[in-house]
Amino acid sequence: MSITPRDLSRLQDAPRHPAKPRHKTREVCVGNRVIGGDNPVLVQSMTTTDTFDVEATVAQIKRLEEVECELVRVTVPKPEDAAVLSKIRSRIGIPLICDIHFDYKMALMALDHPVDKIRINPGNIGGYDRFRQVIRKAKERGLPMRIGVNAGSLERELVEKYGFPCPPAMVESAIRYIEIAESEGYHDMIVSLKSSDVPTAVEAYRLFAQMCDYPTHIGITEAGKPPYAVTKSAAGLAPILLDGIGDTIRISLLGDPVPEIAAAFDILQATQRRVRKPELIACPTCGRLAIDLEKIIADLEKRLEGRRTAVKVSVLGCVVNGPGEAREADIGIAAGNGKGVIFRNGDIVRHVLEAEMVDALIEEIDHWESDQEKAGKSTKETPAPGRKRLPVVV
């Protein structure tokens, strides 16, 4: 049987590193932070306390601040919640967002306090006139707003028009309210199009990005309980981020909000949209493994904790794929039978025994950092062929 060779010429024109550029959005200030444009994708969360319980709410926000949460949202369903917003804001160090559902009066009350942003779900705020009242007051106060479209609370006529809460219906809802706000001369908006269904959320954000330049808050709503909820969030947010979409992110987990922050930063790191720590690459455990790789990785993680170096470090425990993959990283080691070879920028720099590997890798990371500083981290400097340096976005 004859075989027709495939045309491989197109491979020469295919991108070597297929990272899409960031979707260009306008900038919106939220307190002392800026969302959109070329600014880092900001990580946020939401408290689970009764907002009017100031001590409990502030204590939870402080815990979120400790793990580097950058924006925090509190729910405001009752007048007593709105009444304590000033007290909460005065005791925290990150921008405070108030979350409004159903009662537009709560939005108007919240805007009497020094909050940094208001979030409204237009599908349940009570109609266009009430929405305009909130827009006018937000404009008067000079405060931004998130228009939070949710597949579970779309306007009835849009559900009837499209048959079910699909991406086009979600985007039409968002644009409808954006245009109302624009007619009032208001443009300080961030938009979210959330669904608990991953494909729906992904396509909604993609469709919106084709039509608008407002920054987006991305997330998979009601993701559920970890660990599946983290996996589901990663499955939904990775394609969005890889498309260059997303300016602020929340991972919605059942229970304590603190773990949401690490999960968000890990997803940003994996998609290279915000690299803020070393990237550790380790081979899976298999029968070829000839060193105590788990111990080495655990020791290395502990030694690198808190370090902001955007460096790829590869630790491979066998001689099959090890040498090639170690060369691909900024710093790598291919090891087996109690010894290994360390590569830096693709070149062999030293041979080490297993007991020396962690110390040696830390030393090579120090050398790599020093070289970067001496080079002034020049954007003109290119990585060795086949290697892609991680972008530094802290």
> For residue range 319-340, what is the model confidence (pLDDT) as tens digits?
666 667 777 889 988 888 888 8
Quickly state the pLDDT bin for 266 (edges 50, 70, 90): very high
Tokens linked to 279: 């990237």
Query: What are the pLDDT digits (tens) for 61-112?
Result: 999 999 999 999 999 999 999 999 999 999 999 999 999 988 899 999 999 9
Distance (Å, rounded) from C-alpha 73 to C-alpha 131? 20
Query: What are the pLDDT digits (tens) for 11-54?
Result: 988 887 777 899 999 999 999 999 999 999 999 999 999 999 99
Average pLDDT over residues 349-357: 90
Query: For the domain 28-270, what is the CATH superfamily, name and number?
Result: Dihydropteroate synthase-like (3.20.20.20)
Tokens linked to 68: 């580097």
Distance (Å, rounded) from C-alpha 209 to C-alpha 26? 12
Break the chain into its structural domains and give their ranges.
Answer: 28-270, 279-374
| Residue 117 CB-density burial (10 A; 0-12 exposed, 13-18 middle, 19+ buried) | buried
Instruction: Tell me, rounded to whole angstroms, the distance of Cα 382 from its chain centroid.
Output: 26
Which positions ≥6 away from 324 have C-beta within 8 Å?
A: none
Domain 279-374 sits in CATH at 3.30.413.10
How are strands ordered across the β-sheet holding 279-282?
A: 279-282, 312-316, 331-336, 339-344, 347-353
Name residue, tokens 């808050």.
Answer: 217
CA angle 350, 355, 360 (to 5 degrees): 35
Which positions ≥6 away from 255 have C-beta within 8 Å?
A: 48, 225, 226
Whether the Cβ atoms of residue 324 and residue 342 lie closer than 8 Å to each other: no
Instruction: Look over the chain and give the mean of its residue pLDDT values, rounded to a whole number.
Output: 89
Which 3 state secondary structure label does DSSP give 75? Answer: strand
pLDDT for the residue numbered 169: 95
